[in-house]
Amino acid sequence: MVGKLYLKIVPLIFAIHISTTRCDAAEPWQISFQDPATPLIEGIINLHHDLMFFLILILTLVSWLLFRTVYSFHYKKSPTPSNSAHGTMVEVVWTITPSIVLIFMAIPSFALLYSMDEVVEPAVTVKAVGHQWYWSYEYPDYSNEDGEIINFDSYIVPEEDLQLGQLRLLEVDNRLVVPTNTHIRVVVTGADVIHSWAVPSLGVKCDGIPGRLNQTSLFIKREGVYYGQCSELCGVNHGFMPIAVEAVPLKNYVEWVQNKLAEE
């Protein structure tokens, strides 16, 4: 009895916890964006809202026209159909109006697109390499006396090894640790086939292509653990190579780097 109650209460507490804290991972029945943590994803969400404004306007107008057409031109309502085939004025209006709407959508869209491409002078560079089927990370900025750099593999935590509170299919054994409020460059590549390094809360989705280096930038505004998944179909375990990014204050990051370098 006590055991059964426990089984009900723990998920409930967990559900309340998830719904009241920041959402930096996908959640069941999620229908909107995860909470933003970088200026990039804030821009993406704002663009989405801008576009939704036009979308709702167009949907309303088109539905209204459709309804009016079906209703007013029913054969019982107008037995003798109008024989007008065209009108210059209406054609000018329905050509010009959508073009203006398109311009209003294109301007913020291009502004965002080009600003996302901008890599601000980075203070930290990390390299993410996609493998079948795990990620490996390198920190080429630092090395110890033996000239070794920090590099490690990041594997999924299998379902049977999950601790209470760890997220199924999202938790990894070694998270990518990065500092907050710092310009970070992420260099992404693939070791075998194309993978894609994607973290929704950070607004990043970058293909890892063998023989090529792609780069994207991060500026994480708050501490947290951000979860993502490989987003390019890369083989049978494509769904089992998640990404976990742990953003910590700069001071803790420096400590982490020192400890890691000592371990290497």
Phi and psi, residue 143, nearest 5°:
-145, 155
- Contact yes or no for 184/124 (Cβ under 8 A): yes
Minimum distance, C-beta of residue 238 to ligand CUA, in the bound complex (Å): 4
* Adjacency order of strands within the sheet including 195-199: 176-179, 242-248, 224-230, 195-199, 204-208
* 226 vs 253 by CB, closer to ligand CUA: 226
List b or e across 30-67, with b for residues whose CB sees 16 or more CB atoms inside 10 angstroms. Answer: eeeebbbbbbbbebbbebeebeeeeeeeeeeeeeeeee
DSSP 8-state symbol, 211: T
* 40 vs 230 by CB, closer to ligand CUA: 230
- Contact yes or no for 136/208 (Cβ under 8 A): no
User: Binding to ligand CUA (CB under 6 A): which residues in 192-221?
Assistant: 195
Per-residue x/- marks for ligand CUA, 6-45, CB under 6 A? ----------------------------------------
Among 36, 43, 122, 130, binds ligand CUA (CB under 6 A): 130
Q: Does residue 244 belong to the site contacting ligand CUA (CB under 6 A)?
A: no
Among 230, 244, 245, 247, binds ligand CUA (CB under 6 A): 230
Q: Does residue 232 belong to the site contacting ligand CUA (CB under 6 A)?
A: yes
Residues that bind ligand CUA (CB under 6 A): 130, 133, 195, 230, 232-234, 238, 241
